[in-house]
A and B are shown apart, each in its own frame.
Chain A
Amino acid sequence: MTAVALTARTARFRTARFRTVRALRLEIRHSAVVWVLPILAALFYVNAYRTAAGYPPTWTLRASVITQANLAFSSMIAAGVAAWVATREGRRKTGDLLATTARAAWARQATVLAATAFWMVLAYLAGVAVIYVQTALQATWGGPPLWPVAVGVVAVAASCAIGFTCGTLFPGRFTAPIVAVAVFVAWFVGVNAANSVNPDNVSNLSSLKGTSALLVPALLGRPPDVDAGVYYHVPPDVFIAQVMFIGGVLLVMVGLFALLPAARVPGAWGLSFAAGRRLTVVAAAGVACGVAASATAFSLAGTGQYSLTTGWEIPALHDAAGDQSVPYTPDCTGSAFKVCIHPAFAPYLGAMSAALQPAAAEIAGLPGAPVRAEMTPGYSPPAVAGTASVYDYSVEQEGFSGGFWATPATARTADWEQGEQQDFITWFVSGPAEQDAPGLTTPAQEAVAIALLARIGAPVPSYPQFSQSITAAASGFESLSPAARHAWLAANIAALRSGTITLAQIP
C-alpha cells in the first residue's frame, strides 16, 4: 500500500470515527433509558442499597449484592428498555427515511444499542459505586472485589443485547414487556439453580458437584458468609467462568443483531447484507466465538469443586498460589480476659468485649476457664471446653441472621449480649455451644449454666431438658456464696462436663 493510499485510508477511518462518535453522542443524549433512571434508582434503593446497608461492612459480602438484587433489576430493565428502543424506527415511522441513508442499518442500530448499553451500564456502575463507597467508609479490612463488577457489567450489556435483538426481530408493542419479564423469570430460575449448589442449603458438602448453576451471576463462588473473603481470598474461578459464559451470550446476540437487521432493511434488494460480505464474516465469526466461549464456560462449570475454605474452584482456572490464608493480626482488648476479633470486624470489638467480660469474670480461675476469646472462621469447629484456654467464636455463630452485624452502631443490643453470654457459659459448662449440639446438655449442666447466667443477669435460656427440678437446683446453686460456688465448680467441673454429675449432686 502506498503512502498516499494509507493516508487516504486513515482519513476515511477518522471521518467514520467522527460520524460514529457524533451519532453516539446524539443517541446518548436522547436515549429512552434516561426516563427509567428514577425507576432504577428506586429499585436500587429498596433492594440493593438497603440489603447492603444491612450487611456488615466486609467487602465480599457487600459485593454479593451487586450481582444479586442490583443485577436482577438492572438486567430486567436493560432488556425491556433495549427491546423498546429497538422498535423506535417502527414506532416513529422513520423507516423509509432511514432506509435512504448511506449508513448501514446494522451500524445505525448498533449506535442506538451502544447508547442504551452505555446508560444501563453507567446506572449499574453508579449503584456499585454507592455500595462500594459506603463500604469503604465503614470497612476496616480488605478492598473492593472487582470480579463481581465485571460480571455485572457484562450481564447488563448482554441483557441490553438480548432485548435489542428481540426488539429488532419482533418489533411489536408487547415485545419490551415480554422480554423484560422473560429475563426476570430466567433470573429467578437461575437463582433457584444456584441455590442448589449453595453450601448453605446442602447438608452434605461432599455431595456438591460442579454444575452449570455456577454460571448464574447470583452465585459468588461461595455462600455470602459474613467472613467470606476475610480469612481466604475468594478465588476468581467462578467469576471468570461467568464472564466467559455471559460474554459469549453477548457476542452471539450482537453477532445475530448485526446479521439479521441488515437483511431486513426495508430498501434492501433481496437479502443482500447492507455492509457486504465483510460484515457477514465478522458477525458470523462473532457468533461462533460467542458460542465457543459459552460452551467452554459451561463445560468448565461442570468441573467445579467445593473447598471449605475458599468456596467453588474450577481446576482449569484455579491458581493454587492464591489459596494461602490471608495473614492478619487480631484486634484485642482486656487484660485478665482478652477478647480478640479479626480486624475486618474491629468496630464490633467493644460490643463483643462488653458481652463476654462479665461471663468470663464469673468463671475466672476455674480449671479450663478461657483466658482469651478469639474469632475463628465459621467453618472451623470451636475448641472443646476444658482442653484449651481460648474460647473460639465465629461470625456465623454470633447471630448474623439476627442482624447483629448490620452496623457497629446497631450491633450491641441487650438480647444479643445475653445470647453471647449464654453461648459462652453453655460452652464452658457443657462443651461446644449448645445451639449446635442441643442434645448434649445434661440436667446438671443446665442447672449450673442457669445459675451462672443468673449471676451475671442473663435470662434463662431455652435449654432442651428444662424442668422445675432443674430450676430448683439452679436456684440452690446460685444462692451459694461465690467462694463456695467457685470451690464446688473447681472440684467438679470436669465431671460436670463429662455428664457424670447428677442434679442431686449439685449443692
Chain B
Amino acid sequence: MNIELTDVTRTFGRNKAVDGVSLAVGPGVFGLLGPNGAGKTSLLRMLATVLPPSSGTVRLLDRDPSRPAARTEIRRRLGYLPQNLGYYPSFTVAEFVEYFALLKEMPAHQVPKAVAAAVERVDLGPRAKARLRTLSGGMLRRVGIAQAIVNGPDLLLLDEPTAGLDPEQRVAFRTLIRDLGQHATVVVSTHLVEDVGTACSEVALMAEGKVVFRGTPDELTAQGEGHQVGDSPLERGYSAVLAASREQVAA
C-alpha cells in the first residue's frame, strides 16, 4: 500500500479538520470527494508531508514521514498540486518545471528529458518558453500538473486539478491520470464528481472531517437511486450519501 492512514486526526485550534480517518490506498486513481470544508485539503496536505497529523499514524510509500530521512525519500517520489498554485511569474514554463525537478532531487542526467516530457504531457510544449505571467489560469493549472508529474512520482496528490481547465483539457487530463494510475497512486481531491466518475477506480467521500463513503464510482452511483438531488447518477449518489451523513450527525 502506498498510503496507510490509521485513525488520523488533524486539528486547527478547536476545529477538527480531519477526524479519525483510516485509509489504505494502493496503485490506481483514488478520488477524494466532498463539499467545501469537508477536510479534503487538510488530508491531502498531510499526505503531501506538508502537515503533520495531530494524532494517528501516517505511512507513505512504506515509510514513516515523521522521520526526516524517510520524509526526504518520500518527497523524492512525491508529486503534489496544491489547491492554490503559487508560482514565480518571471519563470518560463520549462524553467518552473525544471526548478521543481531539481528540488525533487531527480538524477541530474534525467532532468532535461523529464522536463520536456512533463511539459509535453500537459500539452504546453509550444508554450514551454512562455513566462508564467503571460499564461491563462487553465494553462497555469497545467503547469502545476507538469511540475507534479515531472519526477514520475509513485504518489501523486492533486487538489482540484481540473479547476480552470476547458472541457477538452479536462478530458485530456483524465486520460493522463488514468495512465499515471497504472503504476502510481494518484489521489485526486475534487468536488467535481464527473472527474471522479470517469477517471477514478476508487472513491472516498468526506464530510465533517470523516470518510463517510468508500467504494467504486459505480457503488457511489448506486447510493443515489431514488434520490432526486443532482443532474447525473453520480451526483445523485454523492448527494444521497452526504444527506445521509448529515441526518446521522443531526440524529
By a CB distance below 8 angstroms, the chain B residues around A30 are 88, 90-91, 95
Q: Are B102 and A19 in contact (CB under 8 A)?
A: yes
* B86 near A102: Cβ-Cβ < 8 Å: no
Q: Which residues, 92 to 142 on B, are CB-close (under 8 Å) to A?
A: 95, 98-100, 102-105, 107-108, 111
Q: Which of B65, B69, B90, B99 has the most CB of A within 10 A?
A: B99
Question: Would you call B75 and A92 a contact (CB within 8 A)?
Answer: no
- Please name the residue on chain A nearest to B65 by beta carbon: A269
A72-109, CB under 8 A of B: which get 1 and which 0?
00000000000000001100111111111111100010
Complex formed: what's the CA distance from A26 to B72 in Å? Answer: 23
Q: From the candidates A93, A100, A266, name the one contacting B86 in the complex (CB within 8 A).
A: A93
Tell yes or no: B226 within 8 A of A by CB: no
A23 at the A/B interface (Cβ < 8 Å)? yes
B88 and A101 contacting across the interface, CB-CB below 8 Å: no
CB of B103 within 8 A of CB of A26, answer no
Q: Kindly list chain A residues whose C-beta atoms are within 8 Å of the C-beta of B66.
A: 269
Chain A residue at smallest Cβ distance from B44: A96
Closest to B47 in A: A100
Residues of B within 8 A of A101 (CB): 75, 100, 103-105
> What interface size band does chain B fall in?
35 or more
Let me know if A14 is at the binding interface, CB within 8 A: yes
Please, which residues of chain A bring their CB within 8 A of the CB of B196? none
Please state if A266 and B76 are interface contacts (CB–CB under 8 Å): no
- A267 at interface, CB cutoff 8 A: yes
Asked if B45 CB lies within 8 Å of chain A CBs, one says yes
Complex: A29 Cα to B91 Cα, angstroms? 9
Residues in A with CB closer than 8 Å to B72 are: 102, 104, 274
B51 touches which of A19, A26, A267 (Cβ 8 Å): A267
For the complex, what is the distance from the CA of A102 to the CA of B104, rounded to whole Å? 5
Report the Cα distance A272→B67, complex, angstroms. 9
CB distance from B153 to the nearest CB of A (A): 10
Q: Is B248 an interface residue (CB 8 A)?
A: no
The stretch from B17-25, B77-85, B205-213, B217-225 touching chain A is: B77-85
**How distant is the Cα of A269 from the Cα of B65 in the complex, in angstroms?**
8
- 1/0 contact string of B38-63 vs chain A (CB within 8 Å): 00000001001111100000000000
A269 interface neighbour in B52, B84, B100, B102, Cβ under 8 Å: B52
Which of B66, B76, B82 has the largest number of chain A CB atoms within 10 A? B82
Over the window 132-159 of chain B, the binary record of Cβ atoms lying under 8 Å from chain A Cβ atoms (1 yes, 0 no) is 0000000000000001000000000000
A7 adjacent to chain B (CB < 8 Å): no
Find B82's partner among A15, A97, A269, A274 (CB 8 Å cutoff).
Answer: A97
Q: Do B49 and A22 touch (CB < 8 A)?
A: no
Interface presence of A188 (CB below 8 A): no
A92 CB contact (under 8 Å) in B69, B87, B105 = B87
Q: When A92-B87, A269-B65, A276-B68 are in contact, do A23 and B99 touch as well, CB less than 8 Å?
A: yes
Known: A26-B99, A93-B84, A97-B86. A19 touches B52 (CB 8 A): no
18 new A-B contacts, CB < 8 A, other than A19-B105, A96-B80, are A14-B108, A18-B108, A92-B87, A93-B86, A94-B86, A96-B48, A97-B82, A97-B85, A100-B80, A101-B75, A101-B100, A101-B103, A102-B72, A102-B105, A103-B104, A108-B103, A267-B71, A269-B65
A residues neighboring B (CB under 8 Å) = 14-15, 18-19, 22-23, 26, 29-30, 88-89, 92-104, 108, 266-267, 269-270, 272-274, 276
7 shortest interchain CB distances as A-B pairs: A93-B86, A94-B86, A101-B103, A18-B108, A102-B75, A267-B50, A100-B80
